[in-house]
């Protein structure tokens, strides 16, 4: 629930200024003068809240299609009332501003989505059960690509070392220059300073543990990764460590759970 509230707040923080800016450009295109960006921001806020509330109520009462049509109608009526009250003009001219504004907004939103997806965030849909019970098949995740320093316990999307056209989702277990030992399902870490400790892994259930026996010394840019469901995971036990450059990003949030 808190995740969706956070996403809603972020969406509003991005959408409202963008929407107001598109309205400003549309009005200028249709030769309106003495425009107030602050007022247009209030108009955009009123449209979003009013149309959103009416559309939500209609959705529960009449269904998706009716909600969509009612939402658009409400948006037009609110915009027409608030815009005409401040700047004047015929209903047709204001409708023209509304349509041009949406064209500008869609173009700007598309450019923003492409930029954000390419540089900062990308979606990832979980397949298989290698990360169960933490994540399951069909979970829709958002991966942030900004972090460059990865800690033990981080869940990362990385390129498959034997075929870099494929990506996997695994948990970071061993860090660069550490020695990782797996004995009968228990993971032991030896740090570069010589400290040795058993890794506490509450995310691995007893039935998902395996009887692996291996020891691996990691290089300066290597990470040892494992799936939480050890019995159903192909990971560093099979194909060795991954390079720092193989890591695409870390899991940020789970948007939707799989079926």
C-alpha 160/C-alpha 224 separation (Å) is 13
Q: Measure the N-to-C terminal CA separation of the chain; round to a whole number of Å.
A: 18
C-alpha 150/C-alpha 147 separation (Å) is 7
Strand ranges of the sheet holding 222-226, from the earlier edge strand across to the other edge: 121-125, 140-144, 247-256, 155-160, 163-174, 222-226, 242-243
- Residue from 44, 75, 132, 170 carrying the catalytic annotation: 170
- Residue from 130, 132, 233, 236 carrying the catalytic annotation: 130
Q: Is 127 a residue of the active site?
A: no
Helix (H) or strand (E) holding 102: helix 91-119
Token match 């948007």: residue? 255
- Would you state the structure tokens that stand for residue 90, as one six-digit string? 């015929």
Q: Nearest 5°: phi and psi at 27? A: -65, -40
Q: Is 130 a residue of the active site?
A: yes
Furthest-apart CA pair in the chain: how many Å? Answer: 79
Catalytic residue numbers? Answer: 130, 170
């Amino acid at each position: 629930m808190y995740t969706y509230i956070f996403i809603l707040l972020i969406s509003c923080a991005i959408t409202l200024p963008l929407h107001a800016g598109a309205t400003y450009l549309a009005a200028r295109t249709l030769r309106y003068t003495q425009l107030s960006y602050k007022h247009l921001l209030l108009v955009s806020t009123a449209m979003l809240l009013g149309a959103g509330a009416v559309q939500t109520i209609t959705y529960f009462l009449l269904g998706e299609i009716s909600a969509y049509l009612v939402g658009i109608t409400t948006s037009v009526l609110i915009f027409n009332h608030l815009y005409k009250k401040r700047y004047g003009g015929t209903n047709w001219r204001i409708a023209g501003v509304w349509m041009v504004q949406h064209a500008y907004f869609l173009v700007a939103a598309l450019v923003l989505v492409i930029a954000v997806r390419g540089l900062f965030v990308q979606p990832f849909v979980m397949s298989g059960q290698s990360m169960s019970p933490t994540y399951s098949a069909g979970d829709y995740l958002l991966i942030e690509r900004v972090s460059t320093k990865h800690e033990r316990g981080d869940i990362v999307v990385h390129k498959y070392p034997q075929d870099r056209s494929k990506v996997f989702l695994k948990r970071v277990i061993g860090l660069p220059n550490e020695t990782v030992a797996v004995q009968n399902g228990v993971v032991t870490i030896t740090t570069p300073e010589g400290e040795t400790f058993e890794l506490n892994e509450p995310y691995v259930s007893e039935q998902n543990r395996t009887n692996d026996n291996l020891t691996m010394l990691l290089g300066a840019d290597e990470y040892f990764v494992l799936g939480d469901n050890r019995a159903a995971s192909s990971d560093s036990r099979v194909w060795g460590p991954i390079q720092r450059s193989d890591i695409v990003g870390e899991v940020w949030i789970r948007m939707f759970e799989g079926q």
